[in-house]
Homo-oligomer: A and B are copies of this chain.
Amino acid sequence: MPEFLNNLLQRLRGERGHNMELLCRELLSQRGEASQTVLAQHILEQYNRMSGDQQLKFFQMLAERFGADQQAIQTAIENYTRGPTPANEAALAAAAEAPRQELVRRINTGPAGTETLVRMRRDLQRLLPGHSDLAVVDYDLKHLFRSWFNRGFLRLERINWQTPAITLEKLIEYESVHEINGWPDLHRRLEADRRCFAFFHPSLPGEPVIFIEVALTRGLARAIDPLLDINAPVLAADEADTAIFYSINNCLEGLRGIPFGSFLIKQVVDELRAELPRLRVYSTLSPLPGFARAVNASDNSEGFTRERLARLLKEFTTELSAEAGVADPVEAFFELLKEPLAHLEVLTPALRRLAIAYVTHMKRNGRPVDPVANFHFSNGARLEAIDLFANTRPYGIRESFGVMVNYRYVPDDLADNHERFVQTGDIQVSGGLLTERRITGELWHGSRSKKPVREKSAVK
């Protein structure tokens, strides 16, 4: 740090002490311009030392004291009301913008400003549930972050064994879909038949914003265990015909609600096409995180009501009852679910039917309730396959009775699929799933559905 700034900072520490409101006002004042960086640094340092309580008070202060000037808003409203011209509209917007935004912009000029502000929003979000008055602060931070973390400012970079350890370490920390168990596990995920890509922002060097893990395989991978097996033989990359996206992770809580995932997948598909022209299929192997919860919470009228379960499982009554020693197929089914791995064979067709129903028919506001399904359909992917007992690790059984899903990205169909999905909620499925979807749909809707099944599979 420049020496003279250092001097100023020393003085500041004495003078204005820890009064954050005073410091923030100072930074926003015209006088603050001359020493913006050093004031920003001081505020950042103060913030970094705060306890949770102090953070709460700090955010409340920001919410209450750094809003817009009510008098100025009043005047702008009057002008606008008299003449709703573009200029008066802009003036109204300016008057209503909380000075908090300019304050945050100035704080950002301090050392590690962006990093700290992102962490600040993370802290803020943890407080939000109980403190709706802080929502306005979150609104301002998110508003700025959407500008700063605009896709145009992100760089895609490949992560491999050449990457600095300090960045690799973060993958281990941030991977939350399929935990990375130390460095040898990580190393396997960066071998010749794996790819890993991340978006980086120039102001957060070495810090991935989001990353995706890809396995290169022969044929569609329909179970996660072989992909995570640290001792699995390494396939030569140019022998692969399929790229499996098996994990995608947002790294920074403080950027929640700023969308990157869709961009990332599409750009990675393209990187892979350029590098490995033999690849034919791009598909995820995804969890179905809400499935078990949905099945268990069977009283939800949008969801697996008792009636629906009865209809969906009826076909498998004989096998379920015999295995469980319980007459009612639904009760038998729940009995068997207590130890699903012990009843693999019997459960398979039943779980398959429910999973198809869950992914393709269980919706809220016209969208799939499963967040992962909703994400990929919204990107224009199609439902390619349902994989039974594909994740038999404890969390896999717990979340979805081991079921996983392949969502396939057919590059040329993405835009159309996306468009149809956001307009009509229509979901694309592979040819092999058409009939099952229709049958499941009829059972779900309780009769020959009145709603015509308009959806068609993507042809490819």
List chain A positions with a Cβ less than 8 A from chain B.
1-5, 7-8, 30-31, 33-37, 63-64, 67-68, 70, 73, 77, 80-81, 84, 86-87, 89-90, 92-94, 96-98, 105, 108-110, 113-114, 133, 135-136, 139-140, 144, 146-148, 150-153, 161-166, 168-169, 182-183, 187, 202-203, 206, 262-263, 266-267, 269-270, 273, 379-380, 411-412, 414-415, 418-419, 422-423
Partner of A96, one of B93, B262, B411: B93
Shortest 4 CB-CB contacts between residues of A and residues of B: A2-B270, A34-B418, A202-B202, A4-B411
In the bound complex, do residue B151 and residue A109 qualify as a contact, i.e. CB atoms below 8 Å apart?
yes
- Give A7's nearest chain B residue, CB to CB: B412
- Give A108's nearest chain B residue, CB to CB: B152
Residues in B neighbouring A63, C-beta threshold 8 A: 86
Chain B nearest CB from A143 CB (Å) reads 8
- Give A66's nearest chain B residue, CB to CB: B86
In the bound complex, do residue A34 and residue B273 qualify as a contact, i.e. CB atoms below 8 Å apart?
no
In the bound complex, do residue B7 and residue A262 qualify as a contact, i.e. CB atoms below 8 Å apart?
no
Chain B nearest CB from A73 CB (Å) reads 7
Report how far A113 CA is from B30 CA in the complex, Å: 32
In the bound complex, do residue B153 and residue A202 qualify as a contact, i.e. CB atoms below 8 Å apart?
yes
Report how far A415 CA is from B36 CA in the complex, Å: 10
In the bound complex, do residue A34 and residue B262 qualify as a contact, i.e. CB atoms below 8 Å apart?
yes
Partner of A89, one of B3, B8, B98, B411: B98
In the bound complex, do residue B109 and residue A98 qualify as a contact, i.e. CB atoms below 8 Å apart?
no
Report how far A263 CA is from B183 CA in the complex, Å: 33
In the bound complex, do residue A93 and residue B109 qualify as a contact, i.e. CB atoms below 8 Å apart?
no
Residues in B neighbouring A269, C-beta threshold 8 A: 2, 4
Residues in B neighbouring A90, C-beta threshold 8 A: 96, 98, 135-136, 139-140
Partner of A93, one of B64, B98, B105, B113: B98
In the bound complex, do residue B4 and residue A412 qualify as a contact, i.e. CB atoms below 8 Å apart?
yes
Chain B nearest CB from A279 CB (Å) reads 12
In the bound complex, do residue B150 and residue A105 qualify as a contact, i.e. CB atoms below 8 Å apart?
yes
Report how far A98 CA is from B88 CA in the complex, Å: 11
Taking A3-B273, A4-B266, A153-B202 as given, write out 14 further A-B residue pairs in contact, using a Cβ cutoff of 8 Å, ordered by the A residue number: A4-B414, A31-B419, A33-B418, A34-B415, A63-B86, A67-B86, A92-B92, A109-B152, A162-B164, A162-B206, A163-B164, A165-B187, A182-B183, A202-B203
Residues in B neighbouring A109, C-beta threshold 8 A: 150-152, 263
Report how far A35 CA is from B380 CA in the complex, Å: 10
Report how far A135 CA is from B140 CA in the complex, Å: 24
In the bound complex, do residue B89 and residue A80 qualify as a contact, i.e. CB atoms below 8 Å apart?
no
Residues in B neighbouring A31, C-beta threshold 8 A: 418-419, 422-423
Partner of A262, one of B33, B94, B266: B33
Report how far A80 CA is from B81 CA in the complex, Å: 14
Chain B nearest CB from A381 CB (Å) reads 11
CB within 8 Å for A411 and B273 given contacts A31-B423, A87-B136, A110-B152? no
Chain B nearest CB from A300 CB (Å) reads 27
Report how far A376 CA is from B415 CA in the complex, Å: 54
Report how far A262 CA is from B182 CA in the complex, Å: 36
- Give A409's nearest chain B residue, CB to CB: B4
